[in-house]
Structure 1
Amino acid sequence: MIELEALTKRYGEKVAVNNLTFTVRPGIVTGFLGPNGAGKSTTMRMVLGLDRPTMGEVRIDGKRYDQLKDPLTYIGALLDAKAVHGGRSAYHHLLCLAQSNGIPKSRVAEVLDAVGLTAVARKKAKGFSYGMGQRLGIAGALLGDPRILMFDEPVNGLDPEGIHWIRTLMKSLAAQGRTVFVSSHLMSEMAVTADHLVVIGQGRLLADTSMADFIERNSRSYVRIRTPQRERLLDVLCEAGITAVDADGGALEVDGGKPEWIGDLAAQHQVVLHELSPRQASLEEAFMRLTAESVEYHAHTGAVPVPDEALTASARQAWGSDWKKGA
């Protein structure tokens, strides 16, 4: 279990993490979401004692990280796939970690096999692709057979097979009763992996709830209807006090409606339906709605301005005197 209590981190006048209090519980995959600059990585670094909190504290199974003996046997983490000495082989990188944490040498071969790196175990890490580096980082996290696992963007650089593998791995670890805490910007992946969500924005806690509850509270639910008797159905719905709006493909949408009610109503008035389906916004839409006021960096659509100094000589010549006038 990971417990954060009033956790705060300031860098000068900048408040990166602001009074965070939440608990990451065992037996489920907890997703950690937030826009860029929200404070996710800083929070994870404080969990591992890599950054010192300005205020508050983090406890791992009731202890601070610096109080843990052989910490890799308590918590395993992947924060940066490139945090490996490039001159070491995958085997020797893991062997160094094992020896410094009292972990049997035999465990190195086991985790290399688990992440699919046995064939390149003796190759130097500097020759690894990003995806291979991710697998090596995950092997390091698993090395001490810890009860708590923490992953920051674990699917970066992985191919579809690798993404499916890490998803299955995280679910199986949680099913074993372990604590699994994972940060990712891939909402589609998080939607099928996480059971619980912790969402932060500008360092503050925005949500700490189940995946289903998060989507229900922060997204639009509606019923989509298609019928060859569109005008007739609109009249029937209007008489029943139900408002329908136009949707793509000639369909209609009813916000918050019950498909059973609409189906019964259509049947009573002999209106033929070709589609009657409940819909709910995705995790991504729910996340965007909740964090809209907390996004620190906004991109703007439209043409990208080209500075004068970026113009090529041929372009300047083509523009002639008009370029010099700024026309």
Structure 2
Amino acid sequence: MIQAQGLTKVYGAKTAVDHIDFEVRPGVVTGFLGPNGAGKSTTMRMILGLDHPTAGRVTVNGRRYRDLPAPLREVGALLEAKSVHGGRTAYNHLRCLAKANGISPRRVAETLDLVGLTEVAGKRAGGFSLGMAQRLGIAAALLGDPGVLLFDEPVNGLDPEGIRWIRQLMRSLAAEGRTVFVSSHLMAEMALTAERLLVIGKGRILADTTMSAFIAANASSHVRVRSPDLLALASLLTARGCRTAPAERGCLLVYGVSPAQIGDLAYAARLRLHELSVVQPSLEDAFMRLTADSVEFHAHARDAA
């Protein structure tokens, strides 16, 4: 288990993490979400003792990371896939880690096989693609067979097969009773992987709940409408108090009203409908709504030509 109490990190005039409390429990995959600059990486670095808190504390299984007698056997982490000596082979990289932590060479071979790198174990890590480097980083995290695992953007550079593999791996590790804490910007993938969510924005915890409860609390289903009479239909719906939002060309999103009610209104006004479909709420919708005020940089769409 990972526990934080009043965890704070200040860099000069900037508060990166602001007195946060949370628990990451064993047996489930906990997703860690937040906009860029929200404090995710800083929090993970403090868990691993790479950054020292300005105030508060964070522990792994009741101890600070630096006080763990055999860290690699208790905590495995992937924070930066390319943080490997490029001149070492994949095998030698893991062998050095194993020797320093009293882990047998047999475990090195097992871990390379687990992540699918056995055939390239003798190749230098400096020549690895990002996807191969990710797999090597995951192998290093798993090397000590730890009960607590942290993964920061673990699917970067992976192909579809690799993404599915790491998703299944994280879920299987949690099913074994391990603590699995993973951050990612890929909302669709996180929705398939995590059972609980910890959401941070501007250094503060915005949500700490289950995936289903988070989506239910921050997003709602809506109706996607496609019509050649879209402007007239939008005016009609707005006049009836419906909330609408533009979608792709020829489409409209309508909130707070059923497809049947939209169809009846359109029929009465002699407006044509080409599509009425219910769009279920998504993690992306819920995340965007909750963190709208926590985004540091806002891009703007280009005007259509």
* TM bracket, shorter-chain basis: 0.7 to 0.9
CA contact (8 A) 1:38 1:202 kept: yes
AA aligned opposite 2:27 = G
Evaluate the alpha carbon distance shift between residue 145 and residue 217 of structure 1 in structure 2; reply closer, same or farther with a 3 A threshold. same
Which residue of the partner structure matches residue 212 of structure 1? Answer: 212
AA aligned opposite 1:62 = G
What are the within-5 Å matches in structure 2 for residues 24-103 of structure 1? 24-103=24-103
Matched, 1:295 2:295: yes
Deviation readout 1:40-65 (Å, 9 max, x if unpaired): 11100000000000001111011110
Which residue of the partner structure matches residue 135 of structure 1? Answer: 135
Deviation readout 1:187-212 (Å, 9 max, x if unpaired): 11111111111111111111111111
AA aligned opposite 1:168 = Q
Evaluate the alpha carbon distance shift between residue 189 and residue 245 of structure 1 in structure 2; reply closer, same or farther with a 3 A threshold. closer
> What is the alpha-carbon distance in structure 2 between the residues aligned to residue 64 and residue 189 of structure 1?
31
> What is the alpha-carbon distance in structure 1 between the residues aligned to residue 49 and residue 243 of structure 2?
54
Evaluate the alpha carbon distance shift between residue 243 and residue 288 of structure 1 in structure 2; reply closer, same or farther with a 3 A threshold. closer
CA RMSD of aligned residues (A): 3.2
Deviation at 1:215, TM superposition (A): 1.0
What are the within-5 Å matches in structure 2 for residues 173-188 of structure 1? 173-188=173-188
Identity of aligned residues (%): 66
> What is the alpha-carbon distance in structure 1 between the residues aligned to residue 154 and residue 68 of structure 2?
25
Deviation at 1:125, TM superposition (A): 0.6
Matched, 1:150 2:153: no
CA contact (8 A) 2:243 2:256 kept: no
AA aligned opposite 2:195 = D
Evaluate the alpha carbon distance shift between residue 294 and residue 143 of structure 1 in structure 2; reply closer, same or farther with a 3 A threshold. same
> What is the alpha-carbon distance in structure 1 between the residues aligned to residue 202 and residue 126 of structure 2?
35
CA contact (8 A) 1:219 1:289 kept: yes
What are the within-5 Å matches in structure 2 for residues 1-327 of structure 1? 1-222=1-222, 255-256=255-256, 278-302=278-302
Question: Which blocks of at least 5 consecutive residues in structure 1 are unaligned?
Answer: 227-240, 266-272, 304-327
> What is the alpha-carbon distance in structure 1 between the residues aligned to residue 200 and residue 37 of structure 2?
10
Deviation at 1:223, TM superposition (A): 5.2
CA contact (8 A) 1:219 1:280 kept: no
CA contact (8 A) 1:242 1:254 kept: no
> Does the residue aligned with 2:59 lie in a helix, a strand or coil?
strand
Evaluate the alpha carbon distance shift between residue 24 and residue 275 of structure 1 in structure 2; reply closer, same or farther with a 3 A threshold. same
> Does the residue aligned with 1:8 lie in a helix, a strand or coil?
strand
> What is the alpha-carbon distance in structure 2 between the residues aligned to residue 139 and residue 105 of structure 1?
13
> Does the residue aligned with 1:200 lie in a helix, a strand or coil?
strand
Structure showing greater Rg: 1
> What is the alpha-carbon distance in structure 2 between the residues aligned to residue 211 and residue 116 of structure 1?
30
> Does the residue aligned with 2:173 lie in a helix, a strand or coil?
helix
> Does the residue aligned with 1:80 lie in a helix, a strand or coil?
coil
Evaluate the alpha carbon distance shift between residue 206 and residue 73 of structure 1 in structure 2; reply closer, same or farther with a 3 A threshold. same
AA aligned opposite 1:31 = G
AA aligned opposite 1:107 = R
Deviation at 1:78, TM superposition (A): 0.2
> What is the alpha-carbon distance in structure 2 between the residues aligned to residue 224 and residue 300 of structure 1?
23
Evaluate the alpha carbon distance shift between residue 243 and residue 128 of structure 1 in structure 2; reply closer, same or farther with a 3 A threshold. closer
> What is the alpha-carbon distance in structure 2 between the residues aligned to residue 295 and residue 142 of structure 1?
33
> Does the residue aligned with 1:197 lie in a helix, a strand or coil?
strand
> Does the residue aligned with 2:151 lie in a helix, a strand or coil?
strand
Deviation at 1:300, TM superposition (A): 3.5
> What is the alpha-carbon distance in structure 2 between the residues aligned to residue 207 and residue 165 of structure 1?
28
> What is the alpha-carbon distance in structure 2 between the residues aligned to residue 243 and residue 295 of structure 1?
28
Deviation at 1:222, TM superposition (A): 3.2
Evaluate the alpha carbon distance shift between residue 253 and residue 88 of structure 1 in structure 2; reply closer, same or farther with a 3 A threshold. closer
Which residue of the partner structure matches residue 230 of structure 1? Answer: none
Question: Which blocks of at least 5 consecutive residues in structure 2 are unaligned?
Answer: 227-239, 265-272
CA contact (8 A) 2:112 2:121 kept: yes
CA contact (8 A) 1:33 1:199 kept: yes
AA aligned opposite 2:297 = Y
AA aligned opposite 1:20 = I
TM-score by length of 2: 0.84
Deviation at 1:221, TM superposition (A): 2.1
> Does the residue aligned with 1:21 lie in a helix, a strand or coil?
strand
